[in-house]
Structure 1
Amino acid sequence: MFKSVLCKGTAWLSAMAIAGTAAATPLAPFVLHTPGAVEIKFSGYLARSGDTGASPGIHEASFGAGYMTSIHELGNPANQLWRSGQDNQSISFLMYGAGDAAVLPVAGSSAHQVFGTGCTHLAFGCDGKIHLDFYLDKLSGGTNPGFGIGGIKASQRQGFRQLGGITDGELLMRWEFVPGLSPTTPGGTPVTLVQQLSGLTSPSSGFGSFLARCTGGPACGYFTSGMQQGGADFYGTNTMTSILALTAIGQNGWSARLSDPVIAQVALGQPSTLALLPIGAALLFLLRMRRQRGW
């Protein structure tokens, strides 16, 4: 399940630094004066949920996990603000709670439109929302399992919002999908994930889109501007590609590859003093150089 300019992205990356309090060193005050658009890119894998049975409520259809790969200025991929491994940082994610509210065939095609919503099966832990949580970890000295041979299995999920090796870092931010891209279903269920899939349910090959709001974690202070459609903080699109069951990743229980660029607007009104990791310090230096040289 989750697009930022150098001077705008610095504040967001500083927020990541706050999450790593053990290594943080106070360096200098920083105030963000100008908002800007960013692209946050991450990729991972989807698996069918173990939420089965005849219990009442909308059951979770799938969940996903993976890693953030980069952050760059919207429309300018060459202007990288962060990448996986920079300053020994790794950011993992877990997407969970996605249920299928309605499935409709696409006329003249074998594809189906799948309108997603948060699962409501209380016995499984569902709370009616689709979640996307990000965790900050160390690339070296942290826990960063892969998904192939010897890697993490979908069956190792420990609960509604826990997956060993993925959710054991410092919580960076927690998103919740919100309505706004599609009307409610005929039964009145809010739609928070719109997908067109080759199958009847996720995970299948296809694509989708969502709106989300940041609801927890130190990075939320930089995105709670509500500048996307419907007052959301993020607009995301995703591409899903089915994985053969006989591959190493497929044998670990992952059914589709997930790739998600997300567009966000960096907010104003940041704290005046930030505890920055080396990544924040480096970007602050580049920001000053940019202003001095008129880049």
Structure 2
Amino acid sequence: MFKSVVCKGGAWLSAMVLAAPAAASPLAPFVLHAPGAVELKFSGYLARSADSGSAAGMREASFGAGYMTSIHELGNPASQLWRSGQDNQSISFMMYGAADAAVLPLAGSSAHQVFGSGCTHLSFGCDGKIHLDFYLDKLSGGTNPGFGIGGIRASQRQGFSQLGGITDGALLMRWEFVPGLAAAAPGATPVTLYQQLSGLASPASGFGSYLARCTGGPACSYFSNGMQQAGADFYGTNTTTSILALTAIGQNGWSARLSDPVIAQVTLDQPASSALLPLGAAMLAWMRRRRQRGW
């Protein structure tokens, strides 16, 4: 779904050490060495929400889940900083809370403009925000379900922000979508997700965009409102492609595939020395060599 993080001022991300859930053995450190701009790539699937609240109360329209596939230097895919499976790691995500505040026909097109905002149906768990959470897990020995035959079903969602196998790792970072990208929807509802879709509601084929900020998790210490717009850390764009109901993924309740880039400006400051202590001596020596060479 997303792609790209821009680092400023030559700062670099030395290390991020995350503890696993108490029931699991410790995860390997999540380590990036970013000399400049980097791209994050991840994709997944969207499903229609089971929220049965009234539309007037801004019920949730859709939610999504999937996996990050790689992180590499911007414009240079060969320079990979992280990839799924490296150090036995997997990064999953869940997106939730998206409501369709208004749907208007797009002039001169068969598409529709869908003005999205955070759902407000309190009994369903809504808090008026669209969320995107990332979790770090083990690829081998962890829980990393697929979405096809024998895979996770959209109906297995366990709560507003929980989906078994997706959200049971160590929280890496939590994003919240923020307004500022599009004008308010009819009724003055702030728009935090703007989409142009083939259907009258999400999910459907089309594309969307949003601004988001990092609000929780260890990775937030490396993101500091570099965009200088609406307090956002990330600018995201995504494409969605409808899935046939008769396919294996469609039979599991997933309605659309979600993919393509996120663009963000971030400031990556060198972490405190205490954050480096769990790393091995060899890794520390390697990082010192990089710094001496000006990487």
TM-score interval for Structure 1 and Structure 2 normalised by the shorter chain = 0.7 to 0.9
Q: Any stretches of 5+ residues in structure 2 without a counterpart? A: none
CA pair 106-85 structure 1, distance change in 2 beyond 3 A? same
Rounded to whole Å, the distance in 1 between the matches of 2:232 and 2:258 is 22
Rounded to whole Å, the distance in 2 between the matches of 1:73 and 1:246 is 38
Q: Is the 8 A contact 1:36 1:265 kept in 2?
A: no
Alignment of 1:80-229 (within 5 A): 80-229=80-229
Rounded to whole Å, the distance in 1 between the matches of 2:94 and 2:139 is 17
* Local SS of the residue matching 1:246: coil
Provide the residue aligned with 2:72 in structure 1: 72
Rounded to whole Å, the distance in 2 between the matches of 1:54 and 1:124 is 11
**1:236-268 residue CA offsets vs partner (Å, 9 max, x unmatched):** 110100000000000000000001422233324
CA pair 284-96 structure 1, distance change in 2 beyond 3 A? farther
Provide the residue aligned with 1:62 in structure 2: 62
Q: Which has the higher contact order (CA 8 A, sep 6+)?
A: 1
Paired amino acid for 1:70: S
Provide the residue aligned with 2:232 in structure 1: 232
Rounded to whole Å, the distance in 1 between the matches of 2:278 and 2:91 is 15
**1:165-197 residue CA offsets vs partner (Å, 9 max, x unmatched):** 000000111000001110111311110001110
**Structure 1 residue 224, shift from structure 2 partner:** 2.4
**Structure 1 residue 106, shift from structure 2 partner:** 1.0
Greater helix fraction, Structure 1 or Structure 2? 1
**Number of corresponding residues:** 286
CA pair 142-277 structure 1, distance change in 2 beyond 3 A? farther
Normalization by structure 1: what TM-score?
A: 0.87
Which shows bigger deviation, 217-226 or 273-282?
273-282
Q: Is the 8 A contact 1:240 1:259 kept in 2?
A: yes
Q: Any stretches of 5+ residues in structure 1 without a counterpart? A: none
Rounded to whole Å, the distance in 1 between the matches of 2:184 and 2:170 is 35
Which shows bigger deviation, 264-273 or 61-70?
264-273
Rounded to whole Å, the distance in 2 between the matches of 1:277 and 1:140 is 22
Q: Is the 8 A contact 2:48 2:61 kept in 1?
A: yes
Provide the residue aligned with 2:41 in structure 1: 41
**Structure 1 residue 107, shift from structure 2 partner:** 1.4
* Local SS of the residue matching 2:128: coil
Paired amino acid for 1:288: R
Which shows bigger deviation, 2-11 or 182-191?
2-11
* Local SS of the residue matching 2:261: strand
* Local SS of the residue matching 1:180: coil
User: 1:23 pairs with 19, 22, 26, which one?
Assistant: 26
CA pair 5-104 structure 1, distance change in 2 beyond 3 A? closer
Q: Percentage identity across aligned positions? A: 76
Q: Is the 8 A contact 1:183 1:191 kept in 2?
A: yes
**Structure 1 residue 226, shift from structure 2 partner:** 3.8
Rounded to whole Å, the distance in 2 between the matches of 1:90 and 1:148 is 18
**Structure 1 residue 270, shift from structure 2 partner:** 4.1
* Local SS of the residue matching 1:128: coil
Q: Is the 8 A contact 2:28 2:87 kept in 1?
A: no
Paired amino acid for 2:38: V
* Local SS of the residue matching 2:93: strand
Rounded to whole Å, the distance in 1 between the matches of 2:89 and 2:200 is 38
Rounded to whole Å, the distance in 1 between the matches of 2:268 and 2:162 is 32
CA pair 25-59 structure 1, distance change in 2 beyond 3 A? closer
Q: Is the 8 A contact 1:148 1:248 kept in 2?
A: yes
Q: Is the 8 A contact 1:4 1:36 kept in 2?
A: no
User: 1:10 pairs with 5, 9, 13, which one?
Assistant: 13
Q: Is the 8 A contact 1:115 1:194 kept in 2?
A: yes
* Local SS of the residue matching 1:109: coil
Rounded to whole Å, the distance in 1 between the matches of 2:28 and 2:146 is 30
Which shows bigger deviation, 155-164 or 54-63?
54-63
Normalization by structure 2: what TM-score?
A: 0.87
Rounded to whole Å, the distance in 1 between the matches of 2:75 and 2:232 is 21
Which shows bigger deviation, 179-188 or 272-281?
272-281
**Structure 1 residue 280, shift from structure 2 partner:** 12
